[in-house]
Amino acid sequence: MFRLVQFWNSDILGLSHTHFAKAPEMAGLPLRAIAPGAARSADHTRHHIALRLLPFVFVLYITNYLDRTSVAYAAIGMARDLGFDDRVFGMGIGIFFLSYVALQIPGALLVERWSARGMISATMIVWGSLTALTALVHTPAQLYLARFLLGAAEAGFFPGVIVYLSHWFIQEDRAKATSNFMAAIPLSLIIGSPVAGWILGHNWSAVQGWRWLFFLEGVPAILLGIAAFFFLTDWPSEAAWLTPEQRQWISRRLAEEKPSNRQSFTLGQAMRSRPVLLLAAAAFLDYFAGYAVIFWFPTVLKRQSGFSDAHVGVLGAVPYAVALIAMLVNGWHSDRSRERRWHAAVPLFIAAAGFMCLISLPSSTLMTVLFFSMICVILAFLPAFWAIPTEILSESTAAVAVGMINALASVAGFAGPYVFGYLHTRTGSLIAGFGILMFCTLAAAILMLLTPVAARPRVSEFIAS
């Protein structure tokens, strides 16, 4: 964690004075027109915001993903103790996304019209409680109900945070901020895989390990949800932890970067918008493959290797360590080069190559982990992708678009794991499932290259007085 904070404080935000000094040249201003004090103040403000907000929302998202994906490892114990087959798990994993999708857009709009702090806090407390209660499951119907309610509870969190970050980070920092936030996905799996494997192998007080897994991963969300209400601030103008000059500077920069089109944007218009539809289709295909891998990788590795639950947990962390590095580097380079489309497409091409290797090459346990490491680079798609809507769309449009894109994409969270489990049950082979996932990643990469290019952001002019 300390190294990540160092990364946030220096390289990841790229806030050196040398970098900032390039801004006036892009704006057509001479370097001598920039007040050195203003540049230092701007640097300090951006660092201050990043160090205040990113580590905290990073921890929140780790907790979110641990709760959402705990069933991936719990499935090993539930199959042993309750006799659930792949089709039950596919449905249980996927049904989460039915309610999750239904409440995506309302969740994103509530952040704009109500309070990000209140929304994030409430969702965390409720989903933490539901995760803990999933420990009481005994039948498939109970699993379906628990997952359905958990999806409803989590629906507003992700689109809310994406919109929330756009309230605080200027465009040249936004993909890095998003990559830092979303680095919680692979890191949660790096942490969660060995921990979950260890918990699964232990029964306490005559209670199975997988039940303890749900309970122990639900409690932190409740506690952090309470903390979020007191720690987060909705808007820069309300931030008592910034000086008046800092509040004024960041508010002015964010206002300057808003697209000139400020007209209201309805859901119907979003459904007819070519950029929004391209982004939604690309996200759907990416999520289809990504969620199938996240939820089924532990089971595939367990069946192929025959290792203990603890060993599967340790090996299962390796691909996500690779994904974490790829995500941070890709987000940093995307902002440095001011390019989004190729930075979103290249990880998808790498993942497609990984699926092709799984299909066409002999696989030992070591090679399976290697190929899944290539596939998990797909997570590096996320920071560049989620920087796009808030850059090419106006504020009101972006709020609706982010909710709609994530809602449609999250349908794949149901379809991907369910289709993969269904095909494995019907065919007795993983090849058909891997083939479909390879096609999805290739198609998503092509769609990303067809999306519009964001206009270069305007640069604030700090004229020496």
d(CA 256, CA 260): 9
* DSSP secondary structure string for all residues of 295-344: HHHHHHHHHHH---HHHHHHHHTHHHHHHHHHHHHHHHHHHHHT--HHHH
Query: Is residue 302 predicted with pLDDT exceeding 90?
Result: no
Average pLDDT value for the chain:
79
The answer for residues whose C-beta is within 8 angstroms of residue 200's C-beta and 6 or more apart is 73, 74, 76, 77, 209, 210, 213, 309, 310, 313
Domain assignment present for residue 295? The answer is yes
Domain assignment present for residue 3? The answer is no
- Which amino acid, residue 182? M
Domain assignment present for residue 121? The answer is yes
Domain CATH number, residue 236: 1.20.1250.20
- Reported as a single tens digit per residue, the pLDDT across 32-81 is 344 555 666 787 888 888 888 888 988 888 888 877 777 777 888 888 88
* Sign of the four-CA dihedral 316, 407, 59, 383: positive
Domain assignment present for residue 4? The answer is no
Domain assignment present for residue 288? The answer is yes
Domain assignment present for residue 454? The answer is no
- Least confident span in 27-36, 243-252, 276-285: 27-36
Q: Which pLDDT belongs to residue 16?
A: 40
For residue 378, give both structure tokens.
């797909």
Cα separation values, 227 from 132, 231, 232, 236, 331, Å:
19, 6, 9, 19, 28
Q: Which pLDDT belongs to residue 437?
A: 94
| Vertex 253 angle, CA 250 and 254, to 5° | 85
- Reported as a single tens digit per residue, the pLDDT across 140-177 is 999 999 989 998 888 878 777 877 888 888 877 876 77
Helix ranges (DSSP H) in 155-273: 157-166, 171-182, 184-200, 209-231, 244-257, 267-272
Count of structural domains, the chain: 1
Query: Is residue 23 predicted with pLDDT exceeding 60?
Result: no
Phi then psi dihedrals of residue 233, to 5 deg = -125, 135
| Per-residue 3-state assignment (H helix, E strand, C coil) for 335-367 | HHHCCCHHHHHHHHHHHHHHHHHHHHCCCCHHH
**Percent of residues, the chain, with pLDDT higher than 90:** 16
- 434: closest CA among 380, 367, 353? 353
- Reported as a single tens digit per residue, the pLDDT across 351-396 is 999 999 988 877 788 888 899 999 999 989 988 888 888 776 655 5
d(CA 82, CA 435): 31
Output 84 or 264, whichever has higher pLDDT: 84
CB-based contacts of 141-146 (< 8 A; 24+ apart in sequence): 143/78, 143/84, 143/88, 143/92, 144/91, 144/92, 144/95
Residue range 387-413: mean pLDDT, rounded: 74
In which domain, by residue range, is 45 found? 21-449
For residue 171, give both structure tokens.
């465009």
